[in-house]
Structure 1
Amino acid sequence: MNVHIEVRRVNEAGEERTRTASIRDVARAADVSYQTVSRVLNDHPSIRPATKQRVLDAMEELRYRPNQAARALVTSRSSTLGVILGSRGEYGPTSSLAAFEDSAREHGYWVNSAYLRDTQPETIRAAVEHLRRQSVEGIVVHAPQVRVFDILAELDVDIPYLGLNTAERGIVELAEDQMRGGKMATEHLIELGHVEIVHVAGPQDWIEAESRMRGYLHALSDADLPTRAPILGDWTADFGYRAALELSHRLDFTAVFAANDAMAVGLMHGFRDVGIDVPRRVSIVGFDDIPLAAHSWPPLTTVHQQFAGLGRRAVTELLRLINADDAPPLLASVEPSLVVRASTARAFGHQ
């Protein structure tokens, strides 16, 4: 393209500075109306290919970048999704968010996020307002506590939103997968002949912890085995280590199901330090299948979660909410699966 326009202005000091090109600058360079440029930006089907290419060439020549905020006002579409995070740094949420962002980009959307430092109503309200100011079209809530969703319901959020880990205002199948995974882990231990099984759970009021605990209890109930009060942990390997030291004083069990891999690795470390063999004396199952799980000693039997699939599923479901699409989605399964490694064996005394 031979036309070149330099858009300049003079500031108060008399210095000449280049300014950002506008839609009218693009129209002049392409010799079309600014309405035609707008139609090109919005991919209107009535534009002839040659005209569209001329406008695109002018945009490239002028380094024109559409003003997303202005486009949102005109089209009511910002091509932006929001995420509210109740925890960060953990492998699961980080992996799901990365997949969510990748899938959003494939659908032409950007992602803005807001992290909750606590679960006070004003903090949650501020997160929603922050995302609303970004003109997000929908919000995914990856928050662990039930009360976050209770507060969101009270706020009467007028933007489509869903939760990744709750059946209420969320993806029911994904919430059920947590319980199914906990049941799967416990059933594996039962099949190996374990009768006395301890559960080291996650923190109270965390949705995943509650769901995995329910799976554990259902499996014991179905097998008509005795239940124990779960030990409430904090997801850390340090807690698992301390729990192992305490449990070693009363070896009235042969297996432990830990609600996440970090606590499971800590348990194995603690038992090893006091001379308790894993898995010949105590079998251990974790949950999540973090990369470290395959390289712990012994390698950890665990429930593998489809974190990437969960993120992609969230985008699909959120866009269905935004577009009010009632058609059934064609989605790949994100069900958990059991990965059997060397941390589990036949129950002690049942070799």
Structure 2
Amino acid sequence: MADVAREAGVSGQTVSRVANGRSNVDADTRERVLAAMRRVGYRPNSAARALRNGRFRTIGVIVSSLSTFGNSRTLDAIAAAMVEHGFSIVLMTVPRSTQGEVTGAFSRLGEQAVDGVIILIEQHQLDQNEIELPQGLPVVVIDSSARYPSPVIDTDQAEGAASATRHLLELGHDTVWHIAGPPQSYAAERRLRSWREVLESAGRRVPPVLVGDWSAAAGYAHGKRLAADPSVTAVFTANDQMALGLLRALHEAGRDVPGEVSVVGFDDMAEAAHFWPPLTTVRQSFDSVGRHAVAALIAEISSGRQESTTVRIPTELVVRSSTAPPSN
């Protein structure tokens, strides 16, 4: 910093203010200091700054999988929001989300010196009592029913599934079949339960549940069975990718969509509007989830207080051309 001060012809305090992003430096002086930094090869030492003010400007994200559409979109939103706040991210994946793996991820993040953690684990394991969150570290949990002394950002999965099921019943279908996500998924379980509750409250027959793994291949495999049953006129799939596989199976079997079978998905991935036919689906606001999670975590970091609050992000039914009244 002394080298930069001599090069720029300013005081060490001015260099410090520029290095720390302070606003009380005029634009010309700031540019002169930055140019001097480049010439002498100086970069502010974030570790030394952290030792001084107790902040590392880094957050950890513990995620169960990067392959699912929801997790990848939410992580994108978190990263974008963190950049706006001047934070960087350390990412830890825990594919099996067991107690040991989650505890190990917290331990590794502690070694990385983070200011707080966002947990993005879809599996039910996070709801089990044996997984304890670390004391004193700000934590925000995304999509979980567990009761932690930390903010929870929760997409309204139940209302999204209910709106999809009600939409098909209101079109005049006698009942609605369901291709569910994997049983270990908290989101899939909530969508399945809500689908069943809507049918039961309407006094309709509840068909057997078909369980998939979020993939288009699973939707296609179950779709071949559904396409062979002429009594099937409406299907709600737990995500858009399985809906895509279902649409292919129905097409190959000569079952017209929506003339003979109506299909509703979940997520509203960008490609859903370009399926054939364009897919009616439930839109999740992954951007809102990411922004709320970051805002809640930064508020915890700034205040030093943990608050057990829940923010529920609404969903929206987007009606396109894959649903219609039954032909009979």
What is the deviation of 1:102?
1.3
Q: 1:84 aligns with which of 37, 62, 69?
A: 62
Residue segments in structure 2 that go unaligned for 5+ positions in a row: none
Is the alpha carbon distance of 1:155 and 1:304 closer, same or farther for their aligned partners in structure 2, counting shifts above 3 Å?
closer
Segment drifting more, 107-116 vs 157-166? 157-166
User: Are 1:106 and 2:84 matched, yes or no?
Assistant: yes
Label 1:149 to 1:61 Cα distance change in 2 as closer, same or farther (>3 A). farther
Q: CA deviation at 1:258?
A: 0.3
In 1, Cα distance between the equivalents of 2:11 and 2:129?
Answer: 49
Q: Does residue 294 of structure 1 match 2:273?
A: yes
Equivalent residue number for residue 177 of structure 2 = 198
- Please report the RMSD computed on the Cα atoms of aligned residues, expressed in angstroms: 2.9
Share of identical aligned residues, percent? 39
TM-score norm. by structure 1 comes to 0.81
Equivalent residue runs for 1:4-153 within 5 Å: 23-29=1-7, 37-43=15-21, 49=26, 53=30, 55-150=33-128, 153=131
Contact preservation (8 Å) 1:165, 1:171: no
Q: Report the alpha carbon displacement of residue 65 of structure 1 after superposing the two structures with TM.
A: 0.9
In structure 1, the residue matched to 2:229 is 250
Amino acid at match of 2:257: V
**Per-residue CA distance 1:25-45 (angstroms, 9 max, x = gap):** 335545677566445534568
Alignment length (residue pairs): 321
Change (3 A) 1:124 1:52: farther
> 3-state SS of the aligned residue for 1:243?
helix
Higher relative contact order (CA closer than 8 Å, sequence separation 6+) = 2
Aligned to 2:161: 182
1:14 is matched with none
Asked if structure 2 preserves the Cα contact closer than 8 Å seen for 1:237 and 1:264, the reply is yes
Opposite residue 156 of structure 1, the aligned amino acid is P
Q: CA deviation at 1:91?
A: 2.7
For the structure 1 residues 171 and 274, does the alpha-carbon distance in structure 2 shift closer, same or farther, using more than 3 Å as the test? Answer: farther
Distance across 2 between alignment mates of 1:229 and 1:321: 45
2:175/2:199 contact within 8 Å kept:
no
2:141 to 163, 167, 170: 163
What displacement does 1:236 show? Answer: 0.7
Q: Which residue of 2 aligns with 1:8?
A: none
Mark the CA change 1:258 to 1:221 in structure 2 (over 3 Å): closer, same or farther. Answer: same
SS where residue 268 of structure 1 aligns? Answer: helix
Moved over 6 A (4+): none
Task: Calculate the TM-score normalised by the size of structure 2.
Answer: 0.86
Q: Deviations over 1:213-234 (max 9, x none)?
A: 2321232233232323422211
1:342 pairs with one of 305, 321, 324: 321
Q: Which is greater in Rg?
A: 1
Change over 3 Å in CA distance of 1:322–1:218 after alignment to 2 = farther
Secondary structure of 2:303's counterpart equals: coil
SS at match of 1:238: helix
1:214 to 2:193 alignment: yes
Structure 2 residue identity aligned to 1:189 = L
